[in-house]
Structure 1
Amino acid sequence: MTEPSPHTLNTAQAAAADWLARLDRPNVGEADWTDFDAWLNAAPEHQQAYDQLLALWSEMEAAAPHLDRALTQPSRSRPDASRRWLLAGGLAAAGLVAAVTPWGDITAPTTTYQTAKGERLSVALTDGSRIDLNAGTRLTVRLMGRERRVVMTEGQAIFDVAKDARRPFLIEAGDRTVRVLGTQFDVRYRDGRQSVTVARGRVEVRPSAGAAGQAYRLTVGQRLDHETGGAEARISTASPQAVFAWRTGQLVYRNEPLANVVADLNQYSDQPLKVADARTGRLPFSGVLAASNSHDMARTLTLIAPVTSTSTPEGLLLRAK
């Protein structure tokens, strides 16, 4: 009986290779991406196989110049054919069983984008993606050969991600990582609270390394809420148009915890707002506020929400009635 070769591709790896070739065609369409997304999310081993294939592809692209130089050397300095095939086989096997070091990513630059209080910023990335930053946001972007990675330390941003089958787009916010291949969604991370709202396509939100919890896949009109350090997350329906309204100067809320509303308003108003206690912070708030650097938002908030306000040296203190 013939033993299978250790380099033989399994079913998931073979399918991943087919998908990479299919999505690399110049005439790839939306139906291709929809089918690919369904395959990727059908089983954990599909994503693992695809990630391993991307790692191998990145390694091969990075090594290509070195191999070209080696193969064009005079024959007396070349390794013999058997050694070359042994090296190639070893690299291929390593790439298929583990994520190899992305040589080409070592020099990839990291760019920081930051907005001040009351400021918004739109950024066009070199991969064709776009990021709209809300006020009081700070994030870093690194576009590498194997992946595109954003780290959001504070704030809110809308991501319109260009499709790239070879480079997943990852956003780290607190202890959660959002993974996409091409879609549009909003990520908010303030005061240790995270939310992700999807407007187009699908995204995966999973615990970052060392964090507790499970992975969730969100589609259009879904929102995930999570507090850093906890294992649980809450999935609800949301209007992407309402969530995205801050780009046009409107803050739209539907049963939003007052603590989240206050954290947003503090990115626009010179007068700091604070909630007196956890009970006040949990109060649901619904309404539309004009995003402006003035006392008007705080005044409107106290008129709509069931709270009282007291001026203190630290700012305006809100307390549930």
Structure 2
Amino acid sequence: MSHDELAMAQAAAWLARLGGSVAGEDGVEFDAWLEAAPQNRAAYRRAVLLWQEFDARAGDVLAELAPRGRQAPVRPFAARRASRLLWLAPAGGFALAAGLALAVLPPLMVPTTVTAYATGKGEHRHIALADGSAIDLDAETQVRVTLSRSERRVTLGDGQAIFDVAHDARRPFVVAAAGRIVRDLGTQFDVKARGGQLTVTVARGRVEVESVSSAAPERAIALAPGQRLAIDGAGVGQLSRVDPAETFSWRAGRLVYRAQPLAEVVADLNRQFVEQTEIADPELGKLPITGVVVLDNPRAVVARLSLMLPIKAIPSDKALILLRR
């Protein structure tokens, strides 16, 4: 068996084992397998595509697998096509077919899975979902991922995440955050939910944002690449044009600010570093900052901030204290 054939057989086994989701210890082992050989990731993508092909022809495939004499009526062409799909792989093909056959069994055989992920202070995390989508979590972020045969749903608590979604018209991808639903139309976007406020920024494709409240229905707002919707705690939304690269820069260890208050910057820093920073005077927290903050270490960051603002830092036992200079 060649390396590619072995990778395909292993991909089919993972597809059957995970049932459409990556969770717990299985998720750790799956990530390790993806990184173990360069052909593994490509093999898994091929297996997922074949899964979808089988899913679209589930009736034909199941009829082909049924015992002789108990098959449902099947059109001859469909039966022959399902048979070709079932045996399309040579060596290692049986394992692949077994994994894909499992994928098209009735929903009870592929249960809905719910998996929670969280990051701590200063921690970023990349999550690869079995459907080919990916989620990047910022520091101090909590999400719950629910994968079923009819929908892919992420519930975002307090936090920020970038979603890179594999399009699947049969299984919508939605993000629930801050009392809103962000409905993906095949795209890459960032969602930030902090303190009851919501910001959605689109880099590629389109999304729709709508309220989950039936008492006060709102018209869904469609966002295109380069657009950001910011909704404050009172529910007032503002649509603007932005450079998505600035919003996504936190993933590379940089934060970009445009006339945003020092208090907001310090709140972001306190999520990224264990060593905390405090503002002694609330009025000081209103000072606006425009610039790029490189997240190397808190004292270096504060030193650079003091070049842009009339502030100075005094270390204490618990935190860096910011004072007016």
Question: What is the TM-score when the length of structure 1 is the normalising length?
Answer: 0.61
* C-alpha deviation, 1:314, in angstroms: 6.2
Structure 1, unmatched stretches of 5+, are: 1-57, 74-102
| Aligned pairs (5 A) from 1:32-43 | none
Residue 150 of structure 1 aligns to a residue whose secondary structure is strand
Which residue identity is paired with 1:193?
Q
| Structure-2 residue corresponding to 1:163 | 167
Q: Deviations over 1:220-279 (max 9, x none)?
A: 111111234x22111122111111112221112223343432221111223323456776
| Structure-1 residue corresponding to 2:111 | 107
How far apart are the structure 1 equivalents of 2:324 and 2:199?
24
- 1:181 equivalent among 185, 191, 215: 185
Matched, 1:116 2:120: yes
Residue 262 of structure 1 aligns to a residue whose secondary structure is helix
Which residue identity is paired with 1:118?
G
| Aligned pairs (5 A) from 1:232-243 | 232-243=236-247
- 1:216 equivalent among 207, 218, 221: 221
Q: Deviations over 1:170-222 (max 9, x none)?
A: 11122122111310011112233221111011111112235757332111111
How far apart are the structure 1 equivalents of 2:152 and 2:250?
25
| Structure-1 residue corresponding to 2:232 | 227
Residue 247 of structure 2 aligns to a residue whose secondary structure is helix
| Aligned pairs (5 A) from 1:189-204 | 189-204=193-208
How far apart are the structure 1 equivalents of 2:237 and 2:279?
23
Which residue identity is paired with 1:164?
D
- 1:300 equivalent among 289, 298, 304: 304
Matched, 1:270 2:274: yes
How far apart are the structure 2 equivalents of 1:278 and 1:305?
15
Contact map agreement 1:175 1:211 (CA 8 A) in 2 = no
Q: Which moved more, 1:257-266 or 1:174-183?
A: 257-266
Distance change (3 Å), C-alpha of 1:141 and 1:315: same
Contact map agreement 1:120 1:134 (CA 8 A) in 2 = yes
Q: Which moved more, 1:310-319 or 1:252-261?
A: 310-319
* C-alpha deviation, 1:293, in angstroms: 4.2
Which residue identity is paired with 1:172?
A
- 1:248 equivalent among 246, 249, 252: 252
| Structure-1 residue corresponding to 2:17 | none
| Aligned pairs (5 A) from 1:52-67 | none
| Aligned pairs (5 A) from 1:142-153 | 142-153=146-157
Contact map agreement 2:159 2:194 (CA 8 A) in 1 = yes
Which residue identity is paired with 2:309?
A
Structure 2, unmatched stretches of 5+, are: 1-54, 72-106
Distance change (3 Å), C-alpha of 1:142 and 1:236: same
* C-alpha deviation, 1:306, in angstroms: 5.0
Matched, 1:139 2:117: no
Which residue identity is paired with 1:302?
S
Residue 306 of structure 2 aligns to a residue whose secondary structure is helix
How far apart are the structure 2 equivalents of 1:307 and 1:105?
61
How far apart are the structure 2 equivalents of 1:221 and 1:184?
11
Which residue identity is paired with 2:230?
D
- Percent identity at matched positions? 44
The number of residue pairs the alignment matches comes to 232
Question: What is the TM-score when the length of structure 2 is the normalising length?
Answer: 0.60
Distance change (3 Å), C-alpha of 1:190 and 1:104: farther
Which residue identity is paired with 2:257?
Y
* C-alpha deviation, 1:299, in angstroms: 2.8
* C-alpha deviation, 1:145, in angstroms: 1.6
* C-alpha deviation, 1:303, in angstroms: 3.0
Matched, 1:285 2:284: no
How far apart are the structure 2 equivalents of 1:213 and 1:303?
47
Distance change (3 Å), C-alpha of 1:299 and 1:114: same
Residue 179 of structure 1 aligns to a residue whose secondary structure is strand
